[in-house]
Amino acid sequence: MTEILAPAGSLEMAIAALDAGADAVYAGPKGWSRRPMESEVTEEEIEQMILYANKLKKKVKIVVNTYPAPFEMPLFIKKVTKFYELGASGFIATDVGVVKLLRDRFPDTQIHISIGAGVSNALDVKFFENIGADVIVLPFRWNIEEFNEIKKISDITLEAFLYNTVKTGKICPGNCIMSSFFQYRDWFEEEEKTNEHGSANRGSKECYRICQVPWEINNNADKSKSILKQDTNLIQEQLVDFVKCGVKVFKISGRERPIEMICKVIKFYKKVIKELEDGIISSLENYKEELEDLRAQWNNQKHKRVAVLMNKAKSYNKMQKEEVL
């Protein structure tokens, strides 16, 4: 059965997403999931999500896709053990050691490999399968040929984002550590976890949006301005191929987006994927107008969010200068 995996940036979002038709939601405990604090949730909220999902016979996946430091491991083990005992259906992880730890401690849990793991080819996928991963989300710039290469050597369940970007982007999604080179300092403690500005891969709560500002790209003395990260688009043509290829999990990103927007995306793709699987449609041609309207709303919300985060980044830099003075 194909699964729609939706974001749960709050308890309210989790409930709404499950009611809208999502088969599972993913939630990040505070300090462990590469998102701003306002898009992460408390242990109590995770417990409520699991209880609600169980009533609907649906799932909650816990996002722990940061890179825990050695001194954080006892706390990390304590946290994931509690979530497992609460009834979480699985974990989404990045760090190789974390994947192995989760598999050894919880043999019956489902482990997803996060986009932050930096999977680059089919051999990377096979490696993660060998250390215990069940599902792997593939980079949203990959095409159907690259998905099929994986199926030749691995039985791992394939997960795809319900959006893509143009192939001219200059960075690998989920692997940016640039913010930590601009500023690093302790910030505050939340639920026993010390949080800091800098790289989201270490659980930092605010990124400096390095990829969203214009950079001068010098290519053999031919200088040009470029944005490192390109806008994402909700997928259309690729969806048909992904369903045929056997992708079993379709992921919606957006823990920081409006709940109404997330529910619209869930309902649209839930309907379309079912019709593709049932043979009712063979393309999204009849849904082209509806999808374009949804894309416009999605991108509008994206630009608003980036503007907010860019203003935050500027305020951090100003604050840093004032501290120096």
Q: What is the pLDDT of residues 127-181, one digit of tens each?
A: 999 999 999 998 777 778 888 889 899 999 999 988 765 554 445 566 666 666 6
* Section 118-129 average pLDDT: 90
Residue 158 near residue 261 (C-beta atoms within 8 A)? no
Whole-angstrom Cα distance, residue 271 to residue 289?
Answer: 15
Q: Give the predicted TM-score (pTM) of the model.
A: 0.85
Which structure tokens are listed for 106?
A: 């919880």
Say what the pLDDT of residue 132 is. 96
Whole-angstrom Cα distance, residue 77 to residue 178?
Answer: 28
- pLDDT at 99 exceeding the cut of 60: yes
- pLDDT at 314 exceeding the cut of 80: no
Say what the pLDDT of residue 231 is. 55
Whole-angstrom Cα distance, residue 235 to residue 266?
Answer: 13
Say what the pLDDT of residue 297 is. 87
Task: For 232-277, write each residue's pLDDT tens digit.
Answer: 566 667 889 889 989 999 999 888 889 999 999 999 999 999 999 9
Question: How many other CB atoms sit within 10 Å of the CB of residue 59?
Answer: 22
Percent of residues, the chain, with pLDDT higher than 70: 71
Residue with tokens 């986009």: 115
Domains and their CATH numbers in the chain: 3-174+231-324 (3.20.20.70)
User: Which residues are registered as beta bridge partners of 308?
Assistant: none
Which has more confidence, 38 or 191?
A: 38
Task: For 28-82, write each residue's pLDDT tens digit.
Answer: 998 898 877 778 999 999 999 999 999 999 999 999 998 888 999 999 999 999 9
Say what the pLDDT of residue 61 is. 98
Which structure tokens are listed for 15?
A: 């409930």
- pLDDT at 7 exceeding the cut of 70: yes
Residue 111 near residue 145 (C-beta atoms within 8 A)? no
Say what the pLDDT of residue 55 is. 97
Say what the pLDDT of residue 214 is. 66
